[in-house]
Amino acid sequence: MSKQISKEEKLEELHPMDKWLRSERMPHIWCPGCGIGPTLYAWARALDRVGIDKDKVVYVSGIGCSGRGSGYLNVDGFHTTHGRAIPFAIGIKLAKPELCVNVISGDGDLFSIGGNHFIHACRRNDDLLVICINNFIYGMTGGQLAPTTPRGQYATTAPYGNIEHPFNTPHVADASGAVYVARWTSIHVRRLEKSIAEALTMKGFRYIEVLSPCPVNYGRRNKLPEPDDIAEWFRQSSVVRNGADTSEVQIEKDKPLILGNFVKRVEKLTYYEGLKKLEERVRGAR
């Protein structure tokens, strides 16, 4: 007679990440070598490291391959419309300030269609952790130019090479007032985990950019076609410079990739705290 395996027993045989996953949905849709998986695992380990109750974690994502993560993780999540992950997250935080609200989404989602939400959430200091999975391209829709594609690189909509100047996203966050700014890659997983854990213990708008391979839509068009080519590029070209001036960390073709924990500001009043104070002042005076 075959032995019935209980759910707990089955989980034990699975990967340690499975306690955060909706395992029945695995294997996921991401391509071989994609950096989204390791980034999410680093985030999950950071939550464990800091000891945040799983029931208090919210994961909000926009549209794109990176946006799919909220459907695969076994935490409360919202898969919002394109570019609107930050506004949804702000709403959640204002309604339930006790929650740990995380936005994990793509570079296209956060910096093209969602760019305005990003800078204003930085400016207002909304209490969110925002992780941008930057693969330099629109992955899901087939490799169109993103606002992060380095100059001279190729995309389906830049068949002769990109002529635009890309965003230097840590600098955008820094200049807009984010209290924590860092950049790692999806192969620097241990340092990424530590950085996320550090950001999780702070309040205010915290931003981490994670450079991530998209072998299929970025790599194939840029002479990095194998699933592990971009990882190798990251490994060979990365230079860690903690505390670097964010105006000097622009990503350029054939130049070193500067990684590190760049900015850690003295915490300032968050939007929610300001709102509470206002409420006390106005209601209290009545």
Partner 1 sequence: MKIFRGEIHVIKERCKQCRLCINLCPTQVLQESEEVNEKGYHLPELIEEPEKGKICVACGFCQIICPEYAIWVEEKKEETPTEKK
Ligand X SMILES: Cc1ncc(C[n+]2csc(CCOP(=O)(O)OP(=O)(O)O)c2C)c(N)n1
Q: Which residues of the chain form contacts with ligand X (CB under 6 A)? A: 63-66, 82, 106-109, 133, 135, 137-141, 146
Residue 48 binds partner 1, judged by CB under 8 A: no
- As beta bridge partners, residue 101 has 58
Which residues are registered as beta bridge partners of 145?
Answer: 137
Nearer to partner 1, 7 or 286 (CB): 7
Given ligand X, partner 1, ligand SF4, none, residue 56, with its beta carbon under 5 to 8 Å by kind, binds none
Residue 74 near residue 59 (C-beta atoms within 8 A): no
With contacts defined by CB under 8 A, name the span among 59-67, 166-174, 227-235, 271-279 that binds partner 1. 227-235
Cβ-based neighbours of 243, under 8 Å, separated by 6 or more: 260, 261, 262
- Of 107, 96, 95, nearest to 217 by C-alpha is 107
Contact partner, 17, from ligand SF4, partner 1, ligand X, none, Cβ < 5-8 Å per class? partner 1
Question: Does residue 36 bind partner 1 (CB under 8 A)?
Answer: yes
Is 31 a binding residue for ligand SF4 by CB under 6 A? The answer is yes
> Which residues lie closer than 8 Å to 163 by C-beta, 6 or more apart?
151
Task: For partner 1, give the closer residue by CB, 228 or 273.
Answer: 228
Residue type, position 98, single letter = E
Buried b (16+ CB within 10 A) or exposed e, 38-69: bbbbbbbbbbeeeebeeeebbbbbbbbbbbbb
142 touches, from ligand SF4, ligand X, partner 1, none (C-beta below 5 to 8 Å by class): none
Site of interaction with partner 1 (CB under 8 A): 13-18, 21, 26-28, 30-38, 41-42, 45, 187, 189-190, 193, 215, 226-228, 231-232, 235
